[in-house]
C-alpha cells in the first residue's frame, strides 16, 4: 500500500491535543453560526482565510476568538465530537483530550454542566465515531493560583467519568512564581488517583522538565524537546522511559524550532528516549495526527516499522485499559505483517 494509505490504516492514539485547539473548520463554522456577530467568520471561505496559520501572534488571536465561542456546555460537547469525527477519518482510535476548566469557569459555566457535557460527548464519540475519549484537566499556568484552585476543585468535586489525568499548560515562562500552588494542586490530584501529565520543556529549558519531574511527579511530559541540552536529563529520561509527547509541527509554528529539519525528534529516538507523536492544536497549525506521521517519514526519514513503533509507544503510554491496549497493539502488528 502507499505510505499515506499505511498511515491512514495505522491504529493511532492522540495523547497531546487541546480541546479548543482541536476545532476544525467544520466545527468552528458550527459554533460561529450558533453565535452570529462574533469576530469569527460564518462563511467557510472567509473562515479558511482567518484560520490559515500565519505566525504565533495570529495563532493566539484565532485561539482566543474560538475560545470566546465556547459559551455553553453544549459548545464543549460540540468540540469533543468534532475532534472524534476528525480523528476517525484518519485512523485515530483514542484520545486523551486536554480540557481547561478555568476557561469555562470564567464565562460562568457550572462545573456539573461542563462535566455532563464531557460525559455525553465521550459516549457519543464512541457510539457515533468509534473513538474513545479520555480527559486531562489542565491548569493554564499564566493564570496562577486561582486557575490551579479552580482546576483541582473541578477535578476532585465534579470529575467526568473519563478523567484520567491532571496537567499544566500555558506560557512556561510565567509558571515559576506559582510553583508552590502548582505543586499543591498536583499533590491533591495525584492523591485522588489522577495521573500527572504536565507540559514541560516546550518554551523553556531543561530546568522546567526537572521541575515537573521532581515537583509534580510527572508520569508523562508534554513536549519535553529542550531535554537534549542536558545530558543528565537525557540519561534520566532514557533510564526511566518517561514518555515525552512530541508535536513537531506545533514546535515549528510556535517558533520553538526554526525549521522542521532542526527538530530534535530523530535525536531523541537515537538517544533511546520514549517518544509519542501528537498534533497539539492541529487545525490551527495546518496539520492532523496523520500528517504528523507523514512529517516523521518525510522530514526525519522514518520507515514504516519506525512509524508503527511510534504508534505502539502512544498506545503503551496511554491510559487505555490493558485489554484495549493489547487489541490495538495486535492491530498494529497485523498491519505490518500485511504490508510486508
Q: 185-209 burial, b if ≥16 CB within 10 A, otherwise e? A: bbebbbeeebbbbbbbbbbbebebb
**C-alpha to C-alpha distance for 293 and 306, rounded to whole angstroms:** 10
Residues 6+ apart with CB under 8 A from 288: 86, 90, 279, 282
Q: Is 172 a catalytic residue?
A: no
Which helix or strand (DSSP H or E) is residue 149 part of?
A: helix 144-157
Q: What are phi and psi of 172, to 5 degrees?
A: -60, -35
In the numeric block, which cell numbers belong to residue 131?
473513538
Residues 6+ apart with CB under 8 A from 191: none
Q: What region, left, alpha or beta, does residue 37 occupy, with left being phi > 0 and alpha being psi -120 to 50 degrees?
A: left
Q: Which of 202, 211, 231, 306 is catalytic?
A: 202
Residues 331, 11 contacting (CB under 8 angstroms): yes
Strand, coil or helix: 318: coil
C-alpha count within 13 angstroms, C-beta hemisphere, residue 253: 21
Catalytic site positions: 202
Amino acid at each position: 500500500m502507499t505510505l499515506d494509505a499505511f498511515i491512514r490504516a495505522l491504529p493511532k492514539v492522540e495523547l497531546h491535543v487541546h480541546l479548543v485547539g482541536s476545532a476544525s473548520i467544520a466545527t468552528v463554522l458550527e459554533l460561529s453560526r450558533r453565535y452570529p456577530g462574533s469576530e469569527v467568520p460564518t462563511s467557510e471561505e472567509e473562515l479558511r482565510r482567518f484560520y490559515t496559520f500565519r505566525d504565533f501572534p495570529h495563532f493566539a488571536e484565532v485561539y482566543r476568538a474560538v475560545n470566546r465561542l465556547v459559551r455553553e456546555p453544549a459548545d464543549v460537547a460540540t468540540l469533543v465530537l468534532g475532534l472524534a469525527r476528525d480523528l476517525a477519518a484518519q485512523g485515530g482510535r483514542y484520545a486523551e483530550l486536554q480540557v481547561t476548566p478555568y476557561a469555562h469557569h470564567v464565562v460562568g459555566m457550572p462545573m456539573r454542566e461542563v462535566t455532563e457535557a464531557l460525559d455525553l460527548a465521550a459516549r457519543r464519540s464512541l457510539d457515533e465515531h468509534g473513538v474513545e475519549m479520555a480527559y486531562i484537566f489542565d491548569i493554564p499556568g499564566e493564570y496562577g493560583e486561582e486557575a490551579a484552585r479552580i482546576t483541582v476543585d473541578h477535578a476532585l468535586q465534579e470529575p467526568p467519568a473519563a478523567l484520567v489525568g491532571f496537567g499544566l499548560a500555558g506560557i512556561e515562562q510565567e509558571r515559576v512564581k506559582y510553583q508552590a500552588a502548582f505543586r499543591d494542586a498536583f499533590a491533591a490530584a495525584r492523591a485522588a488517583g489522577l495521573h500527572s501529565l504536565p507540559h514541560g520543556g516546550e518554551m523553556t529549558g531543561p530546568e522546567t522538565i526537572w521541575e515537573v519531574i521532581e515537583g509534580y511527579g510527572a508520569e508523562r511530559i508534554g513536549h519535553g524537546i529542550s531535554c537534549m541540552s542536558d545530558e543528565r536529563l537525557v540519561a534520566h529520561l532514557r533510564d526511566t522511559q518517561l514518555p515525552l509527547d512530541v508535536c513537531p509541527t506545533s514546535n515549528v509554528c510556535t517558533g520553538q524550532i526554526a525549521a522542521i529539519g532542526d527538530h530534535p525528534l530523530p535525536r531523541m529516538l537515537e538517544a533511546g528516549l520514549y517518544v509519542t507523536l501528537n498534533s497539539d492544536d492541529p487545525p490551527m497549525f495546518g496539520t492532523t495526527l496523520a500528517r504528523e506521521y507523514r512529517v516523521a517519514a518525510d522530514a526525519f526519514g522514518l520507515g514504516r516499522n519506525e512509524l508503527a513503533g511510534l504508534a505502539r509507544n502512544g498506545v503503551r503510554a496511554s491510559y487505555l485499559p490493558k485489554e484495549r491496549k493489547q487489541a490495538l497493539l495486535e492491530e498494529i502488528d497485523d498491519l505490518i505483517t500485511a504490508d510486508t
